Structure 1
Amino acid sequence: MAHETSGGFAALAFGLMVAMGAAQAQAQVTGSIFDPPDPPAAAPRNSHPLMAPQAIAAAEANFGACVANMWPLAQAKGVSRRGFEHYTAGLEPDMKIMDFLDSQPEFSKPLGEYVDMLVSERRVAGGREVLARYKPIFDAVERKYGVDRYVIAAIWGIESNYGSPSGMGSRSVLRSTATLACIGRRQDYFRDEFVATLQILDKGDVPAEHMKGSWAGAFGPTQFMPTSFQRFAVDFDGDGKRNVVDSVPDVIASTANNLKIDGWEFGKTWGYEVQLPANFDYRHVDRSKRYTLAQWASLGIRRPGAKAFPRPNDTAFLLLPAGSNGPAFLMLPNFSAILKYNPADAYALAIGHLSDRLRGGGDFAQAWPKERALSRSERVEMQTLLIRQGYDVGSVDGILGQKTRSAVQDFQMRTGMVPDGYPNVAVLQKLRN
């Protein structure tokens, strides 16, 4: 559901998407969970004309008029004139948000450390507690929507630490979305979020005083963006309101409905940790190459402990999120459903892993490699050096997407390295030489 999260985890999520080359356009299409990522060709930090100091000042001075001018958009979405005037009266921008909007924090931890941090023993214990406490609700939701309760609980836990006040955010969703709809470089995106917020308030689904969330407008235990709320939220407790803040049944069912619409296949898992054979052909490490589990097995891929694949005809792609020295995974369609919720591999892996832990599973068999991640400047340097080698990596922006990874893989093959396509320090050092 392309939402946002609050506080530090919003920044964490966005940093992971940037650092790991997630499919940012996907979040724009799905309307998903964390900070709405920039388009693939986003301008570098502070270079967008709408982020210039004079443009910010002018937009701030025009804020009242900008909000008033959005009445036709709100009216077209069914917002009453009385409601519009009530909720926008005296509304002022939250200018601190501009610092968040254009910040690009540095993330130096490798993916595995983030996954381990998110799937903590405390979070596992908390998830088992909510699963037990709300078992009748999970039972009913699972019957109606066909979405695994453990993945819903995992999303709840990672998004907001099971609804803790610090996890859900404390900013006014109305004020945040209005600010971003009128000031800064994301105005087109956030006009829809602002109008959707007005719809929620005007209808009374969530009390105005409870519409608190992240700086970018995500709210509730599973952090819905307002437009995601409009698409996915359901009234499961039958009180006539779709309250994804205060009603646990509505929270659980709305999250399940989101995953169902995004393609969750009931009775199936998100993926399998696997082990690769010696002399494996790493050209198969490509998201576009989806084979049946039986075909992967014919290539020598096995599950740890020689466990069988329950459904050998299921299709999957091979993911090496930390390169050939880390865990390997065969990812099934349910992994893609989680990615639609937030398009960052680290997030989707954490959700999948936490759901397995809540079900009673253990840690990954293969440990994450002990190596540092590339800094942003090093990622930019890598892309620059690959271009000098004749490769097309797209924009030199430090976002290591598929073009960069394909270039890395070809460079590794040409230079005798393990061609896993993983852009690490060793590859950068080889490029420098």
Structure 2
Amino acid sequence: MHKKLALSAIVAAFLGLSFQSFAGETPTATNAKENPVAFEDWVSRFKSEAIKAGISQATLDRAFKDLKPVPKVLEYDRKQPEFTRTLWVYLNNGVSEARIKRGRELLVKHASLLDKVYKQYGVQPRFLVAFWGLETNFGDYTGGFPVVDALATLAHDPRRSEFFQGELIHALKILDAGHINQVNMLGSWAGAMGQTQFMPSTFARYAIDGDGDQKVDIWNSLPDVMNSSANYLSQIGWKGDQTWGREVLLPKEFDLENADLNIRKPLSEWQKMGIRRTNRKDLPIVDGMEASVLLPAGYAGPAFLVYDNFRNIMVWNRSILYALTVGHLADRLVGHGPLKTKQPQNDKPLSRSDIQLLQEVLLAQGFDPGEPDGILGSRTRKALKAYQRKNRLPADGYPTASLIDKLKNGTSE
């Protein structure tokens, strides 16, 4: 069992799987103290609350029999990745030729099911298969942690206790309803479950019995997986007559201040500003349709116009790079080509120490990145933009390896 858990974690990390997609946040470093409440005492209190929430005594007895905290879960919860992941690393891991080939085969194999789901929920098959591929490599790696054990471990831990206690209640209700038994209720370290990694609360709100057997089995029933995923996307506002976005060409005089997910303009306005498709043709002008410009690899990388469905992907997972990867994979599954902008030879991830150095330099020069913690957040990007403007550099808020090298040597670009 331990080998299986380790393998799942390694494969997930390599493939870029988002087992924490619905967990509300990415694992972060913390100095949280140990919970002063013993696990056994916490279990006793939790059971009382679970009874009030309608969980049967029989389910509680089975669920907590011999249950103990899982140290590996807390280890993952505390772990902060040492390196930032670049757009290219994300795309290369998520949109491999092998995944594209298999995804296309599965689109054909399950065409009848996917078309039926599309007609009911308005979510295009290519997107459902793209989510499926990125989350668990089409169901190959759904996680090896017992969900109840993982959630109980995190619920007892003081760092995010309230959130995970709620998730544990939902997980127990799934068991109570007989959708799956506890032995087979496996998932990620954070409790994300099934072939598209629903958290228990997401399951409670959106999961659908797609095969009519009176159970919702997102681990083994593909009709349940696809109906549930499509229902979720439909409920959050997915637009079945629109795509996610596209790579575009920016004019030389483009003001980088406009490259911001919070800035939305009609396609006609972007057209007037000189933005074109990568084949240099005009943008498709759709009345009332707005878009934002993104530069996820800085001004020298690819530029994207992203639409409402891109934002819906970010409801699923709040990472811009994840959303771009879903969109690009969905495009590749139906015959679109790779990005026109090529990966630079010197593309490499930055370490936490690199980002911390950047933050310290920014702070010393009067820019406010917040406490230097080695995490590249919005505050650091904002400070970097201000630094770039002052130094007459392209103000894209994107730290490059060359900039970090210059800072290490006591110079700037």
Q: Of the candidates 312, 318, 334, which is equivalent to residue 343 of structure 1? A: 318
Q: Deviations over 1:274-311 (max 9, x none)?
A: 01111221121122211111111111111111244334
Matched residue, 1:372 = 348
Shift of 1:126: 1.4
Question: Quick check: 2:167–2:200 contact (8 Å CA) kept in 1?
Answer: yes
Shift of 1:429: 4.8
1:244 aligns with 2:218: yes
Question: TM-score with structure 2 length normalisation?
Answer: 0.90
Give the Cα–Cα distance (whole angstroms) in 1 for the partners of residues 405 and 18 of structure 2. 23
1:361 aligns with 2:350: no
Matched residue, 1:100 = 76
- Specify every segment of 5 or more residues in structure 1 that has no aligned partner in the other structure, as ranges: 1-5, 18-26
Q: Deviations over 1:217-243 (max 9, x none)?
A: 112111111111112111122221121
Shift of 1:162: 0.7
Q: Of the candidates 255, 263, 266, which is equivalent to residue 281 of structure 1? A: 255
Matched residue, 1:301 = 275
Shift of 1:86: 2.4
1:403 aligns with 2:382: no
Shift of 1:70: 1.1
Question: For residues 268 and 9 of structure 1, do their structure 2 counterparts lie closer, same or farther at Cα, with a shift above 3 Å needed?
Answer: farther
Shift of 1:148: 1.4
Question: TM-score with structure 1 length normalisation?
Answer: 0.86
Give the Cα–Cα distance (whole angstroms) in 2 for the partners of residues 387 and 108 of structure 1. 21
Matched residue, 1:132 = 108
Q: How does 1:109-258 map to 2 (within 5 A)?
A: 109-164=85-140, 167-183=141-157, 185-258=159-232
Give the AA of the match of 1:252.
M
Matched residue, 2:390 = 414
SS of the residue corresponding to residue 114 of structure 1 reads helix
Question: Quick check: 1:234–1:242 contact (8 Å CA) kept in 2?
Answer: yes
Matched residue, 1:48 = 32
Shift of 1:209: 2.5
RMSD: 2.4
Shift of 1:355: 0.3
Question: Quick check: 1:13–1:35 contact (8 Å CA) kept in 2?
Answer: no
Question: For residues 34 and 268 of structure 1, do their structure 2 counterparts lie closer, same or farther at Cα, with a shift above 3 Å needed?
Answer: same
SS of the residue corresponding to residue 128 of structure 1 reads helix
Question: Quick check: 1:233–1:242 contact (8 Å CA) kept in 2?
Answer: yes
Question: Quick check: 1:108–1:375 contact (8 Å CA) kept in 2?
Answer: yes
Give the AA of the match of 2:323.
A
Question: For residues 16 and 197 of structure 1, do their structure 2 counterparts lie closer, same or farther at Cα, with a shift above 3 Å needed?
Answer: closer
Shift of 1:9: 6.0
Matched residue, 2:3 = none
Shift of 1:248: 0.7
Matched residue, 1:82 = 58
Question: Quick check: 2:148–2:171 contact (8 Å CA) kept in 1?
Answer: yes
Question: For residues 413 and 11 of structure 1, do their structure 2 counterparts lie closer, same or farther at Cα, with a shift above 3 Å needed?
Answer: same
The number of aligned residues is 401
SS of the residue corresponding to residue 279 of structure 2 reads helix
1:330 aligns with 2:305: yes
Matched residue, 1:22 = none
Question: Quick check: 2:17–2:135 contact (8 Å CA) kept in 1?
Answer: no
Question: Quick check: 1:16–1:344 contact (8 Å CA) kept in 2?
Answer: no
Q: Deviations over 1:382-421 (max 9, x none)?
A: 1222122222223432222222222222221221212222
Question: Quick check: 1:277–1:300 contact (8 Å CA) kept in 2?
Answer: yes
Q: Of the candidates 4, 7, 22, which is equivalent to residue 33 of structure 1? A: 22
Give the Cα–Cα distance (whole angstroms) in 2 for the partners of residues 413 and 104 of structure 1. 30
Shift of 1:84: 1.6
Give the Cα–Cα distance (whole angstroms) in 2 for the partners of residues 378 and 289 of structure 1. 29
- Structure 1 stretch 353-362 or stretch 397-406: which is displaced more? 397-406
Give the Cα–Cα distance (whole angstroms) in 1 for the partners of residues 191 and 291 of structure 2. 34
Question: Quick check: 2:207–2:224 contact (8 Å CA) kept in 1?
Answer: yes
- Structure 1 stretch 134-143 or stretch 76-85: which is displaced more? 76-85
Question: Quick check: 1:11–1:105 contact (8 Å CA) kept in 2?
Answer: no
Give the Cα–Cα distance (whole angstroms) in 1 for the partners of residues 14 and 324 of structure 2. 15
Give the Cα–Cα distance (whole angstroms) in 2 for the partners of residues 306 and 183 of structure 1. 54
Question: Quick check: 2:18–2:134 contact (8 Å CA) kept in 1?
Answer: no
Give the Cα–Cα distance (whole angstroms) in 2 for the partners of residues 194 and 86 of structure 1. 14
Matched residue, 1:270 = 244
Question: Quick check: 2:297–2:398 contact (8 Å CA) kept in 1?
Answer: yes
Give the Cα–Cα distance (whole angstroms) in 2 for the partners of residues 124 and 242 of structure 1. 28
Question: For residues 13 and 213 of structure 1, do their structure 2 counterparts lie closer, same or farther at Cα, with a shift above 3 Å needed?
Answer: same
SS of the residue corresponding to residue 71 of structure 2 reads coil
Matched residue, 2:10 = 8
Give the Cα–Cα distance (whole angstroms) in 2 for the partners of residues 118 and 35 of structure 1. 21
Question: Quick check: 2:16–2:134 contact (8 Å CA) kept in 1?
Answer: no
Give the AA of the match of 1:367.
K
Question: For residues 275 and 205 of structure 1, do their structure 2 counterparts lie closer, same or farther at Cα, with a shift above 3 Å needed?
Answer: same
SS of the residue corresponding to residue 96 of structure 1 reads helix
SS of the residue corresponding to residue 350 of structure 2 reads coil
SS of the residue corresponding to residue 276 of structure 2 reads coil
Give the AA of the match of 1:98.
L
Sequence identity percentage = 38
Shift of 1:46: 4.8
Give the Cα–Cα distance (whole angstroms) in 1 for the partners of residues 60 and 178 of structure 2. 13
Give the Cα–Cα distance (whole angstroms) in 1 for the partners of residues 365 and 17 of structure 2. 28
Question: Quick check: 2:353–2:374 contact (8 Å CA) kept in 1?
Answer: yes
SS of the residue corresponding to residue 180 of structure 1 reads helix
Give the AA of the match of 1:363.
P
- Specify every segment of 5 or more residues in structure 2 that has no aligned partner in the other structure, as ranges: 1-7
Give the Cα–Cα distance (whole angstroms) in 2 for the partners of residues 392 and 225 of structure 1. 36
Give the Cα–Cα distance (whole angstroms) in 2 for the partners of residues 214 and 13 of structure 1. 14
